[in-house]
Chains A and B, each alone.
Chain A
Amino acid sequence: NAGVMQNPRHLVRRRGQEARLRCSPMKGHSHVYWYRQLPEEGLKFMVYLQKENIIDESGMPKERFSAEFPKEGPSILRIQQVVRGDSAAYFCASSPTGPNQGYTFGSGTRLTVV
């Protein structure tokens, strides 16, 4: 039973390009969460999704960022027109129900914008 799979592990983009980060939740998990960790900071909530629905996107920047969790396939976090300040580690987590029994996190995607 594979854990939460994120790819790629490392992603380098030039300013202005698009970044697509993928997350496959654990089997049987229908709740997906995205978090961002900036250097020297804790994890900041971005978005909470269930299949085909965005439940809470209160942590998403208003522009350039979007997320989806389609009926088939992985969840995608998309960042358009990346800027240097988007450089961070992006973690996806999944759970079978809500968060209170602990999410299972993936290993993260480290995005570097040059």
Chain B
Amino acid sequence: DQQVKQNSPSLSVQEGRISILNCDYTNSMFDYFLWYKKYPAEGPTFLISISSIKDKNEDGRFTVFLNKSAKHLSLHIVPSQPGDSAVYFCAASGNQGGKLIFGQGTELSVKP
């Protein structure tokens, strides 16, 4: 039962352009959504989060959009930089207490 899904395993973008990473969820009880970035052989690093009462949250080059009716969120990175190349995970929390439910990840490659 995959409650959080990232349907694109990989994404390739040119440096300077926009990267859009997508995530869908099935559980309407989730009340917080988070994005993490992961480099090989390292732990995930928290990027940005959004509460279910909002539809947008922005932090520098990173913006997360939440569409509750579609149960969909996306992470926009503008402009993309080669150092953004990593695996990005979306995650959700809510009525499950302290745990996060992670998607499978999308590997972003930003080409110079």
Contact = CB atoms under 8 A, between A and B. Distances in A.
Interface of A: 4, 6, 31, 33, 35, 41-45, 48, 55-56, 58-59, 91, 93, 98-108
B25 interface: no
A102 B46 contact: yes
Interface of B: 6, 32, 34, 36, 41-46, 49, 51, 89, 93, 96-105
Contact of A100 (B32, B44, B45, B105): B32
28 contacts: A31-B98, A33-B98, A35-B102, A42-B6, A42-B89, A42-B105, A43-B89, A43-B100, A56-B96, A56-B97, A59-B99, A91-B43, A98-B93, A99-B32, A99-B34, A99-B99, A100-B93, A101-B49, A102-B34, A102-B46, A102-B49, A103-B46, A104-B46, A105-B36, A105-B43, A105-B45, A107-B43, A108-B41
Contacts, number: 70
B98 A107 contact: no
B90 to A, nearest CB: 9
A45 B43 contact: no
B42 A107 contact: yes
A106 B100 CA distance: 16
Contacts of A91: 43-44
B96 to A, nearest CB: 8
B26 to A, nearest CB: 15
